[in-house]
Structure 1
Amino acid sequence: MSLTIRDAEPSDIPAITAIYRHAVIHGTASFELEPPDEAEMEHRFRAITEPGYPYLVAAADDGSLAGYAYANAYRARPAYRWSVESSVYIDPKRQGAGVGRALMRDLIDRSEGLGFRQMIAVIGGSAHKASIRLHESLGFYLAGTLRDSGFKHGQWLDSVLMQRSLGNGAETTPDPDLYPGTLYSSAKPSA
């Protein structure tokens, strides 16, 4: 299967909603219990893209979406502005075919290009071995596990925290001319 990784567009929201709906109902990647509707998914899409965070889709040859991924603010406090949290969701019929890897590689590259320094993945459940292996293969390391932090599908689930440096990571002070995460400000902070 050939894939095209591109920026997500509002017209992708129905397919994104369907992929996420399946993940919420059948999986543990998300700790949501009820899948949001298209209007809510569009609201979330705009909340991520309007400040300038990357939101990507993997389009298959037939034009259908094989998956999507995005980076968003890790936390809302300004000192976290150099860190992003990644999310990736794959159409269940296309899992295990390299879609997640393709999306995550591009997401990492784009996040580095925007000046972010750390990427954090919060994986739903220690048993989610495929996601853990995918992240390890892309340079993420285990940063910690929050034991039994969520309850879904009649079971307690861990939150597995994985992290990787982007660009120079913490080796240098961030470039003051780059101010990623316009969620915090539309302009560079004053001196």
Structure 2
Amino acid sequence: MIPALRDATSNDLPAIASIYEEAVLNGTASYEITPPDLAEMQRRFQAITGQGYPYIVAVDEDGAVAGYAYTSAFRTRPAYRWLVEDSIYIARNGRGKGIGRLLLQELVSRCTALGFRQMVAVIGGASPASVAVHRSCGFRMVGTLNGTGFKHQQWLDTVFMQIALGEGDTSDPDPKGYPGTLFAG
């Protein structure tokens, strides 16, 4: 069954925190070493959704959160306001089922509709699965930073991938458009 996608709510945060905890403890997608507690995950959720960025979950037929994804500012300086960074995490038992691709496609669609012009993926550990998901959604490889993280007794590379949204950089953005409202000044 194809999971349903919907906006994440604060009620989803225990499941989101659990998925992220597993990723922090066992994976290389995040360079955090200690998983944040639920209060910190709530703070992060509020910071992202409070600025209007998309934050979505995939729920299985039982209503359980199988994965989540969101976008946030790549950098907070005003000239970057047309660029978002995506983050995707899938529950261990949901991996390899196309959930990541569904979440990423939805993020691309929503961010395009909001007027963003570029999306970047910062892929910790150069995860082959994450690279493949992003490539399947039209992202292109734009660079690799070697040996940027040390986790699980190994040096990790960070891969950057990018996709243009809407008109990308072929026209000037609307200075009164939505992304401009995310930044003061």
Normalised TM-score (structure 2): 0.97
Identity over aligned pairs, percent = 56
Residues 1-150 of structure 1 aligned to structure 2 (within 5 Å)? 1-126=1-126, 128-150=127-149
SS in 1 for 2:25: helix
C-alpha separation between the residues in 2 aligned to 1:32 and 1:98?
Answer: 25
1:2, distance to aligned residue in structure 2 (A) = 2.8
Q: Tell me, in whole angstroms, the C-alpha distance in 2 between the residues paired with 1:116 and 1:4.
A: 24
* Matching residue's letter, 2:128: K
Task: Number of aligned residue pairs: give it.
Answer: 185
Contact 1:52 1:181 in 2 (8 A): no
Q: Is the 8 A contact 1:74 1:85 kept in 2?
A: yes
Q: Can you give the 5+ residue segments of structure 1 that lack an aligned partner in the other structure? A: none
Contact 1:73–1:181 (CA under 8 A) maintained in structure 2: no
Give, as a single letter, the amino acid of the residue that structure 2 aligns with 1:88: I
Which runs of 5 or more structure 2 residues have no equivalent in the other structure? none
Q: Give the counterpart letter for 1:157 in structure 2.
A: L
Q: Distance in 1 between matches of 2:61 and 2:105?
A: 20
* Structure 1 position 3, deviation (Å): 1.1
* Deviation of 1:177 (Å): 2.8
Aligned to 1:160: 159
The offset of 1:181, in angstroms, is 5.5
Report the RMSD for the aligned CA atoms in angstroms: 1.0
Tell me, in whole angstroms, the C-alpha distance in 2 between the residues paired with 1:92 and 1:50.
28
